[in-house]
């Protein structure tokens, strides 16, 4: 049988390897000039000042930092869609706060301003949203709602690296935002994340919180200034070590420069799927993007009318095609202690399937997926109707 087709897949090559080699040869592999350059490039990419972004070792770590900067703690609540990444809810619960889960739009799987409003209480300290599949969703209306209520908005833009509304980057609508560069994302540093903080004072605290809570930028800086070898320090917070290093961020710079090329291919693949599946009865494609919205095309998700999702997934697997559902509903996780009923998300979680979507898919791969999906859906629908 031919090779399995992955759902997500990184594109790392000789340019990334050359960048790593250069860092090795420089003898400075820790956090240094390459990390500063990557932060500046990323800040330019999302249209903010570089002083407001901090490069860290994962998006989950960035979310933990964001919760601390936002003042989330015991007695407070954070509203988030139940279709969220598990690390986001962990970041809330780890601070002794309560994650409060809201419903999502049944087709787009993003939270709406109404679903968030319905979950707000006087204890709501922050709202955390993600951009499902890369679709911006109701982000402008949600930002407006948070401003009116005096509640902080945190954007999990992990999968929205090239998503925009009227030219404005997702991640810059709220007060804090996080991105991921892990092995399954579009821009990959092997592991890594980025934190954006709008407020200048909080933004200045972020790099300290990412490095032991030290007041100085690094021990090296301090030694340079004091012109001794000592590593003296002042501690402003009892913080962890969340920083990344120049080996990984050098990879990130190359990847970011390739993003337009990655996006061009992802758009082509999405267009192909849209065209090929348009007339297929019983299955629908991702919703149309509203005017002015741009997606990163991180996911391509389809929705089935009947109860055939798992059977189609099995057929595709047998034909060498991986599929999945993201993200498993968090209000169903016992540890978060939620007993709400969220009908639209629960329905979507039964009907939704993610098909392979990445920039390394060949035309043949796409053709294989299209053919397999079509024949499986037709056969399973016939069987479903016969029951
Ligand atoms: C991958 C992902 C994360 C976590 O990213 P890491 O860098 O692996 O910690 C967070 N949120 C979403 C929506 C993700 O898809």
The arrangement of strands across the sheet holding 98-102 comes to: 53-56, 193-197, 176-180, 152-156, 124-130, 77-81, 98-102
The domain made up of 14-257 is a member of CATH 3.40.640.10: yes
Tell me, using a 6 A CB cutoff, whether residue 81 lines ligand 1.
no
Rounded CA-CA distance 26/23 in Å is 5
Tell me, using a 6 A CB cutoff, whether residue 137 lines ligand 1.
no
* Pick from 374, 303, 379: nearest CA to 107: 303
Tell me, using a 6 A CB cutoff, whether residue 354 lines ligand 1.
no
The arrangement of strands across the sheet holding 352-355 comes to: 283-284, 300-304, 352-355
Closest CA to ligand 1's atom 2: 158
> What is the β-pairing status of strands 77-81 and 98-102?
parallel
The domain limits of the chain are 14-257, 259-386
Tell me, using a 6 A CB cutoff, whether residue 130 lines ligand 1.
yes
Mean pLDDT of 176-201: 98
Mean pLDDT of 68-91: 98
Rounded CA-CA distance 178/40 in Å is 16
Tell me, using a 6 A CB cutoff, whether residue 90 lines ligand 1.
no
CA of residue 179 to ligand 1 center, whole Å: 7
Mean pLDDT of 161-168: 98
Mean of pLDDT over the chain = 95
44 SS3 class: helix
Tens digits of residue pLDDT in 270-299: 999 999 999 999 999 999 999 999 999 999
* Pick from 353, 310, 345: nearest CA to 329: 345
pLDDT class for 163, splitting at 50, 70, 90? very high
What CATH number has the domain spanning 259-386? Answer: 3.90.1150.10
| pLDDT surpassing 80 at residue 216 | no
CA of residue 26 to ligand 1 center, whole Å: 31
| pLDDT surpassing 60 at residue 1 | no
pLDDT class for 220, splitting at 50, 70, 90? low
At CA 299, angle to CA 294 and CA 305, rounded to 5? 105
CA of residue 13 to ligand 1 center, whole Å: 23
Mean pLDDT of 100-115: 97
At CA 158, angle to CA 69 and CA 98, rounded to 5? 45
Residues labelled catalytic: 185
CA of residue 60 to ligand 1 center, whole Å: 6
pTM of the model as a whole: 0.96
Tell me, using a 6 A CB cutoff, whether residue 85 lines ligand 1.
yes
* pLDDT of 331: 98
Q: Which of 57, 62, 85, 170 to mutate to test the pocket of ligand 1 (most atoms within 8 A of CB)?
A: 85
pLDDT class for 2, splitting at 50, 70, 90? low
């Amino acid at each position: 049988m031919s090779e399995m087709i992955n759902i997500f897949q990184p594109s790392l090559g000789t340019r990334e390897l050359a960048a790593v080699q250069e860092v090795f040869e420089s003898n400075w592999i820790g956090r240094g000039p390459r990390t500063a350059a990557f932060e500046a490039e990323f800040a330019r990419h999302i249209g903010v000042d570089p002083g407001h972004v901090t490069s860290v070792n994962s998006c989950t770590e960035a979310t933990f930092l964001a919760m601390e900067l936002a003042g989330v703690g015991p007695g407070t609540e954070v509203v988030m869609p139940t279709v969220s990444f598990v690390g986001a809810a962990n970041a809330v619960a780890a601070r002794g706060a309560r994650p409060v889960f809201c419903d999502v739009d049944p087709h787009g799987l993003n939270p709406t301003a109404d679903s968030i409003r319905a979950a707000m209480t006087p204890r709501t300290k922050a709202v955390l949203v993600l951009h499902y599949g890369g679709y911006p969703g109701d982000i402008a209306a949600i930002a407006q709602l948070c401003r009116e209520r005096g509640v902080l908005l945190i954007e999990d833009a992990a999968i929205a690296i090239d998503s925009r509304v009227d030219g404005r980057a997702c991640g810059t609508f709220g007060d804090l935002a996080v991105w991921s560069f892990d092995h399954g994302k579009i821009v990959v540093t092997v592991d890594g994340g980025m934190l954006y903080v709008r407020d200048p004072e909080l933004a200045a605290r972020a790099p300290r919180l990412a490095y032991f809570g030290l007041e100085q930028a690094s021990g090296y800086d301090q030694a340079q200034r004091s012109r001794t070898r000592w590593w003296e320090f002042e501690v402003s917070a009892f913080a962890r070590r969340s920083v990344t290093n120049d080996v990984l961020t050098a990879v990130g710079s190359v990847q970011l420069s390739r993003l337009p090329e990655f996006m061009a291919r992802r758009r082509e693949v999405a267009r192909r799927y849209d065209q090929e599946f348009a007339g297929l009865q019983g299955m629908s494609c991702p919703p149309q993007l509203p005017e002015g919205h741009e997606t990163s095309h991180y996911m391509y998700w389809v929705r089935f009318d009947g109860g055939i999702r798992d059977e189609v997934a099995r057929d595709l697997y047998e034909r060498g095609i991986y599929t999945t559902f993201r993200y498993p509903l968090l209000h169903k996780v016992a540890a978060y202690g939620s007993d709400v009923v969220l009908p639209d998300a629960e329905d979507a979680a039964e009907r939704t399937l993610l098909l392979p979507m990445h920039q390394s898919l060949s035309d043949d791969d796409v053709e294989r997926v299209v053919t397999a999906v079509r024949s499986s859906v037709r056969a399973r629908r016939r069987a479903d109707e016969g029951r």
